[in-house]
Amino acid sequence: MESTESNSLVPASNEIWYTNGSTTEATIPCTNEGFGAEIISNSYDSEKSCWILSFDREITAIGSGAFARDKSLISIQVPNSVTTIEDHAFRSCTNLETITIPYGVTSIGERAFIWCTKLKNINIPESVTFIGDFAFKNCESLISINIPNGVVAIGERTFYECRDLISVTFPETLLSIGTEAFEGCSNLANIYCKAKIPPFGDYWFSAPYTNIDCKIYVYEDVVNLYKSNEDWSKFAKYIIGYDFTNKREYNFDRNQQDRPANDEIWYTNGSTTEATTPKSEFGFGASIISNTYDASHNCWIIKFNAEISSIGESAFANCRDLITVTLPSSITSIADKAFNYCTALRSVIIPSRVTTIGYGAFAECKALKSVYCKATIPPIFAGDFVFDYFTHTKIAGGSLMHTPYPIGCNIYVPFNALDAYKSQRNWEKYNNHISAYDYENNSLDLHIQSTISI
């Protein structure tokens, strides 16, 4: 007799399993057509802690609009017999958080998951070769996307306005990227492109395009090919060679070898003639004696009359032209709101001796993509919202309600301190953004990053 134990956690070929937050009220598909079978029952199974939608025979598809606009659906598990998820299948299922798609599904239709705003965990297998236009548009809770090998095209606006998306991997089979496929992905920090030939696609970030603000990793031997390609040349300064086998970047941070002296702060602001002046000169432990552009290091250098040990309260607050900051190794503390509202700030290196970071030190730094924290002991937060930014909503009476918005940066910490950071009370809220970094060899290891895979 064949054992059923191995199948106890997956639906039979004539079943769909789902949860909807209730044990008494079933979710009824918007249409019974398109499954390739007829529904015969829809009952709650207390042993499996889910609802089971049963059909009179094997189902081969999730039909067009089958669960569209169903606000009750939270999770769903599709049987191995399904080969197609058709157009609009889960459109506007705004409470859907997870879906299990089996190996064997070959296509995901147009707008299949559009406006699934809570969708966090989705596994799309290697069998998928087609993803339709707008398929994941406005899935704003997705964090990381790994497009499976075999997909040759990413459709128009496929990931449009996926605002929490931080990382995406393109497969080696990819040939083209549709118009505005990643438009509005404002927190995208890393693109891993395994295609040896640059995929075609002119306006996949915006139309007309604007320069993106993230790293694009390609095989080392095709870096120059990408940089000279008509569609990719506009992103040349973001394109970096990458070792996909060992998950390591070549020359990950080109500025790591040169460091400020202990009486200096280095920064860039997009200009070689207009300096950025600190908003407050208090709290550095020394006085500024010069602020000049250094062409040899391609940055500005603030020079002090003695070694500095801290970045004072609101020192650079509202310096909205500041793009990168490199602090000297002598720094031990960063005070409250030190870089608050530095809205163009993209990268910051926090030295190894820093022990405290103040309230809102980097709050409202909406462009921040990379934080290199070199301390092996996680710095203590002297207050909340260190890296957060907020949405501001008017409420009754005209006052504003401030809601923390998920950060969009990667935080790179030493290899041997990764667990300490992720378990430290101050840092654990940023766990999904923390990665291990080898500061000795200047390389990132992505084997141990937290991701949501597709």
Q: Which of 413, 438, 418, 412 is CA-nearest to residue 251?
A: 438
Q: How far is CA 448 from CA 70, 217, 218, 236, in A?
A: 36, 18, 20, 28
- Provide the token pair at 375: 């301390």
AA identity, residue 313: E
Tell me the C-alpha distance between 190 and 413, whole Å.
Answer: 17
- Using DSSP's 3-state secondary structure scheme, residue 417 falls into helix
Residue with tokens 């092996």: 376
Residue 236 and residue 286: Cα distance in Å, rounded?
Answer: 40
Residues 124 and 85: their CA atoms lie apart, in Å, by 11
Residue by residue, pLDDT tens for the chain (454 residues) are 333 333 568 899 999 999 999 999 999 999 888 899 999 999 999 999 999 999 999 999 999 999 999 999 999 999 999 999 999 999 999 999 999 899 999 999 999 999 999 998 787 889 999 999 999 999 999 988 889 999 999 999 999 999 888 889 999 999 999 999 998 888 888 899 999 999 998 788 764 444 466 889 999 889 889 988 888 988 887 888 888 887 776 654 444 446 899 999 999 888 889 999 999 888 999 999 999 999 888 889 999 999 999 999 999 999 999 988 989 999 999 999 999 999 888 888 899 999 999 999 999 888 888 888 999 999 999 888 898 876 545 555 666 554 555 566 789 899 889 999 999 888 988 888 888 887 766 555 433 332 222 2
Q: Are 139 and 116 in contact (CB under 8 A)?
A: yes
Give the tokens for residue 363: 């709050």
All residues at 6 or more sequence positions from 22 whose CB lies less than 8 Å from its CB, including other chains: 72
Domains of the chain: 9-141 (3.80.10), 171-254+439-454 (3.40.50), 264-428 (3.80.10)
User: Phi, psi at residue 355, to the nearest 5°?
Assistant: -115, -20
Report the phi/psi class of residue 341: left, alpha or beta, with left for phi > 0 and alpha for psi in -120 to 50: left
Contact indicator for 212, 186 with CB cutoff of 8 Å: no
State how far the Cα of 67 lies from the Cα of 72, in Å rounded to an integer: 10
pTM of the model: 0.61
